[in-house]
A and B are shown apart, each in its own frame.
Chain A
Amino acid sequence: MTNMRPPQKNKLLKVIILGDGGVGKSALLTRFVSNRYEENNFHTIGVEFMNKDITVDGENYTLQIWDTAGQERFRALRTPFYRGSDICLLCYAVDDRDSLRGLRLWRNEFLNYADVNADRFPFIVVGNKNDIRPDKRQVGREDVQQWCAEQSIASHIETSSKTATNVTDAFVLGLRQWKTMECVAEAEQRQNGDTIDLTRPIRLMQRRSCCTGGGGSGKPTDVVDADDDDGQIADAAMRSPSSMSRHLFGQARSSPKAPSTNYRL
């Protein structure tokens, strides 16, 4: 039955991770996607790509995450990948003050190449390596918050890939931020009536949905829910291409001709 597509459709979001070389972008990604931490030092070459399925507030998403090389010499190589991003994680390391200063350039580079509206774009400022000893810390929370305020970036989070602290939360934060902006955009468009410029894509309106399920691999889906909706827990098994019957008589075919609810097989 692997020929058939999984019954569930995920929203597809493109996430891009930017920041100076060595602040731990790839480690963050690896922790998030595979829940691993690579002790060996390595450089990202150009760009790296991974899928991750995640369920947030009862909705299923597939995050297509592009990790980039921070070194300056990769500049021309990584910028083509910025376009079409939905969420941007700006990473610095809490033990490196320069990396925070660098974020302004990263943000500008991103805005320049991704061609998006700065005010309407979900940037998340991620402070990596918060597992370091306090005496090594160079960036205080206040510094960052001040910086974020200057750049009018709402979301800031400190993470540690090593200790797996806040890693998923960082991505979820981005996702929720995205959703908020989506709603704002939608509302505005509705207000403006039907005079929508059809030559330009209405990026935030219609999301493509996908059912890739992380490249068809059996990777687990993270489930993150708002505090108290226990009834909505989406179980990963439901997404697995289990049976045609569920597809047929389950939720997918909820057209009028479908059987009444008490029919179970």
Chain B
Amino acid sequence: MCEIVFFARNSIKRNFRVRERRHFVSQFPAQRSRYSYTRVLQDSDGGFFEKFGDLLRQKSQYEEHTFETSLAPFRDEDKSDDGSCTDSGLTKDANCVEVEVQSLHSVSAVENISEALFDKGICMNVDDLYEEILFEINNNIGCDLSQEYTKTMVEFAQEVFKMPNSTHNEILEIAKNKEPPKIRLNVEIIKAENLLPKDSNGLSDPFVTLFLESNSSHRYNSSVKTATLNPIWEEHFSLPISEGHREEALIIEIWDFDAAETFKEKFNKILDVRGVRGLSRLMKEIAVTASSGKHDNELIGRTVVTLKSIPISGLTHWYNLEKGTKTKSRGSVFVSVALSAEKNKNVAIQEHKHLLKLLLIHELDTSQVANYWWNGKFSSMAEAIRTQHAVQSGLSSYDCAVSQWHAYSTVHETHKLSFILFNSILDILVPTINCLQNDSEDVKIFWDGAKRILPSCFSVLRKLRLKNIGDNKILKALSDVLDILAKIKTFEIPPEIDIFPSTVYGWIEKVNCEESNNIDTIIVDAINNGAKDWFEHIMEGSKQIKDNENDEEKLQYLIQIIQMIRSDLQRAMEYFDKLFYHKIRLNYSTILYLFYDLKLTEMCKAIVIGVCSNIKMLDVPDDQFEYLPNIDNVNMGTTLFEAYLVLKRYIVLGLSLSPNDKLQMSDFYQWFERGVTHWLDISVIKALNRIQKAIDLDQLHAVDETVKYSSSAVDTLAIFYQIKIFWQQLDWPEVEGSYTFVAKIVNDICRCCVFYAQRMSRRVESLTKMGEDGDMFMLSEEWCLAINNMDYIRQSLPSFIKELGSEDVIKRIGEFRSNLEAERCTNTIKAVIDNALDTQRNQIVELIEHVAHKMSPPIRRFLTEGAEVLHKDSNSMERLMIYLEQSLETLYKTLNEVNFSRILDCIWAELSIIIYDLIQLNLDKRRPPAFFQNLRETLRTMISCFKIDNAVTDVKILLEIETRLDLYALETSELIHQYYLDRLKYQKEESTAIFGQLAISAQFTDSEVTLKILNARNLRPMDKNGLCDSFVKVSLMPTNRFIGFTSFKTAVHNKNCFPLYDEQFSVDLKEDQRKNGNSLILFNIKDKDLFGITSQHIGECYITFADLRACQEEQILMNLCRPEYSDSMALRALENRQGDKQAKDFLKKLRTKSTF
């Protein structure tokens, strides 16, 4: 047996030394082991947590991406047949918008054309211009053109002017024969007033015809001003004066244009006119009709200006109109006339404008240029004509630019020209316009042109989304438009011009009517309007099922809208912001965001709050976990969470775009509060279910060699980790809510931990129920792993909670509220965690106790057998040691230190009970001391085996048991001696001497001891006289050690409580007697009574040889005491020896003694 004990001791010692502290290092962030069942668990509930974690985030980002690329469908009309945008609803709706846009266009087109028509009435004197052009071609300057080239030019001109051959030849002839005029009469017909009404409506449609008296067939016509008696023309004419002009007179006639049939017919035709070709034809017809005199026009009046009356500086004058001899006032006309040697510049410019229009119309007509495409480049022939006219009329580049501005802007109304063109014209115009007076002619032309161009510019801003962003043209166009706007907005708009007529700018938000519109406000309006169109478009486009929409669809709808808005913003930031800022110092995407903010808040708030209020409360299990609810069919709120994340990201974008604005959306999270509690409820239910599943799947094998826990622990922490990711994703923006939610999560996780511990215990307990055979419980690794699992989870809890960032939240509460509140929050979290830790610890300890308890029966059996038959050749001790060693080895290898020592304690507790029971049982069986000796040996063996390095265990209880065994193992005489030793101990502890004291001294020699009985003090009086008659009796103990020794007595000292005995005795001692230090000398002080029959006991005292030897030659003063039948262990042991005569006698004697 000794060998085995030795072996056991060594092996455990060895184990202790090589012990590594390697497990329970918090290997936290969900390391996925190949042994873990994470994947299975995910599948078990459809990956609930994963959805709430990374997957959802990835999804939302992914969708943003796809939306970005699918923005293309919202395109321009001329690309609507582009096959690339097959993306379901979006395309369809893009088309809707296109139709709308087109109809807008067509409405304005009609207006524009009718307006343009009257303006283009100027072209009525097209023959003159034609003549001029032909004349110029014939007399072209600058470069030598061959005759042939001249011919083609003439042909081209005829084509441009659409001249019928007869007229062409006629005019060509005139032009050929025409002498270069020396003097010209430059006329400006400014306006007329109070004209005589000629039409049934009380108005007239006046136009001016002027001609020289000498050449009445060559008439110059102004445009027709419809339905007015106070027309304003401001038109220029240049009439060549032949020789002998002094008698010449200028006739100015104002006619009522009343080509009743012709005009109306033609006007009606205008409504049907489409495109440049038709327009130009019509205009020409009208012009021909007007100038050929074949009309029903009615003369309103005429006036004659003689050239003689015109001073060289010119004349601006009102002329009364006359007709024949009629005296009735026919109105007056305001005319400016001047003579000059060459063509008046105003006339030239006017001619140039007309020429440009004609050339451009022809150009567009022949080359089929697309809208927004023509950038000012004519065909070479047209360019030649244009330059000839410019040069021969002496026009500067600025003059040309003014003409171009006018002409091109007019054409732009019906056929869109490139913005580059206008931008470059502006470059020339701006410096000069800048220096002009507001009322100058050019300024007026400038604003007229601007008025015609601006709608299309704003249209570009509004329709930015119509273009595919991959198309560079949109950026180029935007860049030019912004340049144009930037240039125009440097000028103050003249107050008399209504540059933003409401008919054209119907889309302007009439929010602030008081403020007058300017370019800047209209730009913002245009941007907002574009955003509004886009918003409405996507709202409609995404709304597929309008009726019976369920919450899920509503949320999907919301997400889709936001993603698209977001894409729009991203596109704005990526492509447009830079342009807007560089060109006009405008933060485009900020304007957009602020616009969307309002709209989205309205929409989202309604949807989210609606959805949240529909959430049904879940049946969350309480802390006892009697059942786990099945929530497979419950709406997980994933989409709601997705919406939350999307909105959150959206608001982050907003904060970066406009950090200074109060965004409506910034309170969005409040709408989700109910949702969050729902998610938390779901998570806890899902987590509990997953934990249960993880435990069911757990084979209770160590995950790998480096750790000592099994798969369910890893899986459970992975579940917690998922909850953490959810929490991080949630990232609740407001601190008080954040705290409350984190408190809830902490509470939930704590509950999960407790649940894990509970279920882990059950699992491992069920394990043995199946495999248990008989009373031989074999401790397996599974038990240890279960304990370790629980402990691992428990120990991971605080650090995990820390990872949730609750401390940070509380810190913010401290800043937001006060330290007091923060402290209370901290305490709450701590209390919740501590509760969970305690509960788990208790569960661990419970399981450990359970294990120890299971080990108890075999140990008991071995021990009982062992003690019974120890003296024989039995192997039960051996078997016990093997059993213990095996168990302890498993425990030791697998458990951590804390739990190992816990289980040691528990095993010891069990052992103590077993041994105690054994002692009790065998006392009852009146076992001989030898039995207890054996038992004590067994105990010591086990102590040395178990307890080597483990001082923490409760030694006291072992000492008690050991002492007890020591006692029971003693022979009776030794037991009696033990009783006296106990007495001595008691005597030493007693501080007061109620029975008096005895003084002695002693001296040891080699062969004897000499005792001096000196005196006694303060003896308790025994006699009626209050004194006593005392003597001392000395005995040596134990008696069997001093056989042959008889006690001796001193003389009696009568009536004295302080007797002076002063007697000396010597006792011969053998060496072994002398050396035995625990031998006792008993001093009995008795009162001798009158009759001398019995002596009354006053008191007694003891001293050991050891003490005596230590105090040689000194006076030793001892307190007296009286023997008592006290509840001492030695006495109880003696009581148990009922069959022992010695014990029986001793007890009897003691009882008698103590009855005194």
Interface residues, chain A, with chain B CB atoms under 8 Å away: 3-5, 12, 14, 26, 38, 40, 42-51, 64, 74, 76-81, 83-84, 113, 115, 199-203, 206, 208, 210-213, 215-217, 243-245, 247-248, 253, 257-260, 265
Contact = CB atoms under 8 A, between A and B. Distances in A.
Contact of B828 (A49, A113, A200, A213): A49
Interface string B264-303: 0000000000000000000000000000000000000000
Interface in B776-821: 813, 817-818, 820-821
A44 B835 contact: no
A206 B839 CA distance: 17
7 contacts: A3-B902, A38-B820, A46-B739, A47-B744, A76-B676, A81-B747, A215-B838
Residue from the set A40, A45, A199 with the largest chain B CB neighbour count within 10 Å: A45
Interface stretch (B691-699, B952-960, B1111-1119): B952-960
A14 to B, nearest CB: 7
Given A4-B905, A200-B627, A245-B954, A83 B821 contact: no
A210 B839 contact: yes
Interface string B532-551: 00000000000000000000
Contacts of A78: 740
A257 B627 CA distance: 36
B624 A201 contact: yes
Contacts of A115: 617, 619
10 nearest A-B pairs in the assembled complex, by CB-CB distance: A46-B740, A84-B622, A215-B834, A76-B673, A212-B838, A77-B740, A201-B626, A49-B828, A5-B842, A5-B845
B617 A248 contact: no
Contacts of A46: 736-737, 739-740, 743
Given A83-B620, A257-B913, A257-B917, A45 B957 contact: no
A216 B834 contact: yes
Contact of A113 (B617, B827, B842): B617
B597 to A, nearest CB: 23
Contact of A48 (B674, B676, B824): B824
A65 to B, nearest CB: 10
B926 to A, nearest CB: 17
Contacts of B841: 3, 5
Contacts of A257: 913, 917
Contacts of B830: 215
B1129 to A, nearest CB: 11
A48 B624 contact: no
A55 B368 CA distance: 100
B624 A265 contact: no
B820 A45 contact: no
Nearest to B823: A42
A42 B816 CA distance: 12
B954 A64 contact: no
A44 B824 contact: yes
Nearest to B957: A245
B1100 interface: no
B856 to A, nearest CB: 9
Contact of A211 (B842, B902, B912, B957): B842
B818 A42 contact: yes
Contacts of B920: 259-260
Contacts of A40: 818, 820
Given A51-B831, A80-B744, A216-B837, 4 more contacts: A43-B817, A115-B617, A200-B627, A258-B913
Contacts of B737: 46, 77
Contacts of B813: 45
A68 B624 CA distance: 22
Contacts of B909: 244, 247-248
B755 to A, nearest CB: 12
Contacts of B674: 76
Residue from the set B617, B741, B831 with the largest chain A CB neighbour count within 10 Å: B831
B623 interface: yes
Contacts of A64: 835
Contacts of A42: 817-818, 820-821, 824
Query: Is chain A's binding surface mostly helix, strand, loop or mixed?
Result: loop
A259 B923 CA distance: 13
Given A248-B909, A253-B913, A265-B960, A45 B739 contact: yes
B821 A43 contact: yes
B740 A74 contact: yes
A248 B912 contact: yes
Contacts of B913: 248, 253, 257-258
B45 interface: no
B949 interface: no
A200 B1145 CA distance: 71
A115 B616 CA distance: 13
Contacts of A77: 673, 677, 736-737, 740-741
Contacts of A248: 909, 912-913, 957
A45 B736 contact: yes
B680 A45 contact: no
B956 A245 contact: yes
A45 B917 contact: no
Residue from the set B736, B740, B828, B898 with the largest chain A CB neighbour count within 10 Å: B740
A243 B827 contact: no
A211 B1080 CA distance: 52
Residue from the set A3, A80, A211, A265 with the largest chain B CB neighbour count within 10 Å: A80
Contact of B842 (A47, A210, A245, A253): A210
A208 B623 contact: yes
Given A212-B838, A248-B913, A47 B957 contact: no
A26 B823 CA distance: 13
A212 B622 CA distance: 18
B436 to A, nearest CB: 64
B183 interface: no
B263 to A, nearest CB: 75
Interface string B1006-1041: 000000000000000000000000000000000000
Interface in B885-930: 898, 901-902, 905, 909, 912-913, 916-917, 920
B621 interface: yes
B681 interface: yes
B832 interface: yes
A38 B622 CA distance: 32
Contact of A208 (B620, B624, B818): B624
Given A77-B741, A215-B835, A244 B828 contact: no
A206 B821 CA distance: 36
B115 interface: no
A200 B820 CA distance: 41
A49 B827 CA distance: 8
Contacts of A265: 956-957, 960
Contact of A50 (B617, B821, B828, B846): B828
Nearest to B910: A248
A265 B1129 CA distance: 11
B192 interface: no
A80 B623 CA distance: 14
B478 interface: no
A81 B839 contact: no
A243 B736 contact: no
B837 to A, nearest CB: 8
Interface in B822-860: 824-825, 827-828, 830-832, 834-835, 837-839, 841-842, 845-846
Contacts of B624: 201, 206, 208
Contacts of B825: 45, 48
A254 B736 CA distance: 50
A61 B768 CA distance: 33
B845 to A, nearest CB: 5
A113 to B, nearest CB: 7
Residue from the set A51, A244, A253, A258 with the largest chain B CB neighbour count within 10 Å: A244
Nearest to B623: A84
B839 A80 contact: no
Nearest to B919: A259
Contacts of B837: 216
A79 to B, nearest CB: 7
